Structure 1
């Protein structure tokens, strides 16, 4: 039989699990025999028949995968085959959280149930793939810092020159301001550079390493926030990872600088700066998406040029502050 669509008539918002669910699915009671269920499947057309829903009075009890149904004895009951712990989502669950829940549980389809446990529908495999692809493209575009929506990302290659310019120039102007501030910071440490020109050799590398560590952290944090993970769950682990990465890079960079250039003070300065810059970049990469999320803004924008500018300025300040003390 087909699911009664009156269960799913409540108005839903955009980009929710229920938006992608289909009601043309096989639904049987738990006492239905496997042979009868197979015969019914062969006589009906469904939008998704990879999972057979087991319900009683429209209350979801579990599901039977088509592979298990085809291989089971004809006189077995669905109650003996069904998975009672199958993952479910509510109709208003965000589509990305729903898709990742299916991935984590190794399911190719996902059941949608309401607050009373009644079956609303099933998100079929092709819709889950579409959601994951959609969200992936949206995240990549937002990481670029110049387009907000996925639909804009899909049409950006066809935009006129004026629209391309309008999308990109605001964030690049932010980057330009950051570059001018960075130049001002370097100018303030002109005496250190004049006394030890070698300090300038390692500035691009320190800035790059901090940016790389920050970008990795931003990606993890933005993805975590998008699938419902709390900041408290990620804070300690990401901070420890950032410090561990910074320490490892410092232990490699310091001895190499000393071995190649023979400058002990510069080597110590580079090592300490790498460690401190990577740790600070991790904090900045976590703080900005969290702040935007707290302000009900899209946290993915925290992974754009604004975060890069902040990390660059902090890295330069840290490097020359250490140099002014040690050299």
Structure 2
């Protein structure tokens, strides 16, 4: 039996399960008796003693909760007492996934085991709590504008007026340029507007619906990321949802426009525009925050204005392109 250090994790990459694991835990062989384990733990200092690890030549077999060890008969072995189905994670698993696995299994600590089945260490309760708190703050920051973490969000909230102005005005100038470009787009279709002034009635509605779909997509993606769901897992489903939402809105908008304004051509134009604009809004809403982060730009200031102006331009262009084809 031994409680020596199992493995140093100084080399492990940032934000993984192994980075939070400690090897300073009680480790015993499965044939060790309960009374001997309790006796040997006396006077020892561990970083985590909420669980006793049961290993054979460093091969992880199970664990014994400290409350079970203290209350068990003295003459039984740890093999009889241990939980061989205790949850484990690999060293490279993301810290948030590891923390949620412990929560889902109602464990206060989590064993980290490598591909060979050897114990790397244990993530103690206070580190699991720190991970959950850190990830919670990061998720809230993302909801507020896709910043990388709470520290970045706090810095953005506390910076002086001059710096706030410098950080925000460039993106808003981009938005202004986009607004002027959108006006130019509309001007290119002056002939269609003169012959069908009713086309102008639906521009605000189509732009609003596309922006609303984009905002919903951002929220769903952030929620997925907060529980460890990767972007690749969400990409296909969100694109399909965007298509389904666009189709549903088009099927509602088209007949209503036909009924209210009595023009099947206008109804078809509005319906098709709503469908295509909503579909593209989903893709824009997923791509921009990721793209800004890739270029080390703070999405807290850029993703909102940039996503809005790009989607508005797309919506106007889509609308009048379809109108030109139909009229």
- TM-score greater than 0.5 by the shorter chain: yes
5+ residue gaps, structure 1, are: none
Q: Distance in 2 between matches of 1:272 and 1:70?
A: 70
Q: Distance in 1 between matches of 2:78 and 2:117?
A: 19
Is 1:4 the counterpart of 2:4 in the alignment? yes
Partner of 2:276: 276
5+ residue gaps, structure 2, are: none
Partner of 2:206: 206
Bigger mean CA offset, 18-27 vs 53-62: 18-27
Task: Number of aligned residue pairs: give it.
Answer: 323
Q: Distance in 2 between matches of 1:188 and 1:201?
A: 17
Q: Distance in 2 between matches of 1:276 and 1:100?
A: 38
Q: Any idea what SS the aligned residue of 2:87 has? A: coil
**C-alpha offsets along residues 201-249 of structure 1, whole Å, 9 cap, x if unaligned?**
3323322322333344445556559947363x44432322221121122
Residue 157 of structure 1 and its aligned partner are, at CA, apart by 3.0
Partner of 1:265: 265
**C-alpha offsets along residues 56-98 of structure 1, whole Å, 9 cap, x if unaligned?**
23332233456766787766544344134623131x5443443
TM (norm. structure 1) is 0.76
Q: Distance in 2 between matches of 1:70 and 1:196?
A: 84
Partner of 2:127: 127
**C-alpha offsets along residues 96-144 of structure 1, whole Å, 9 cap, x if unaligned?**
4434554566655332234554333322344334324423433554565
Residue 272 of structure 1 and its aligned partner are, at CA, apart by 1.5
Bigger mean CA offset, 272-281 vs 56-65: 56-65
The 5-angstrom pairing of residues 37-56 of structure 1 reads: 47-56=47-56
Q: Distance in 1 between matches of 2:103 and 2:150?
A: 21
Q: Distance in 1 between matches of 2:98 and 2:75?
A: 35
Partner of 1:169: 169
Bigger mean CA offset, 215-224 vs 34-43: 34-43
Residues 287 and 159 of structure 1: CA distance in aligned 2, closer, same or farther (over 3 Å): closer
Residues 77 and 205 of structure 1: CA distance in aligned 2, closer, same or farther (over 3 Å): farther
Q: Distance in 2 between matches of 1:225 and 1:63?
A: 29
Q: Distance in 1 between matches of 2:177 and 2:4?
A: 59
TM (norm. structure 2) is 0.76
- Calculate the aligned-residue CA RMSD, in Å: 4.0
Residue 280 of structure 1 and its aligned partner are, at CA, apart by 1.9
Does the 8 Å contact 1:193/1:199 carry over to 2?
Answer: yes
Does the 8 Å contact 1:143/1:301 carry over to 2?
Answer: no
Residue 258 of structure 1 and its aligned partner are, at CA, apart by 3.3
Does the 8 Å contact 2:292/2:303 carry over to 1?
Answer: no
Partner of 1:17: 17
Does the 8 Å contact 2:17/2:89 carry over to 1?
Answer: no
Does the 8 Å contact 1:142/1:304 carry over to 2?
Answer: no
**C-alpha offsets along residues 231-273 of structure 1, whole Å, 9 cap, x if unaligned?**
3x44432322221121122222223333444443333222221
* Higher Rg of the two aligned structures: 2
Partner of 1:31: 31
Residue 310 of structure 1 and its aligned partner are, at CA, apart by 2.5
Residue 16 of structure 1 and its aligned partner are, at CA, apart by 3.4
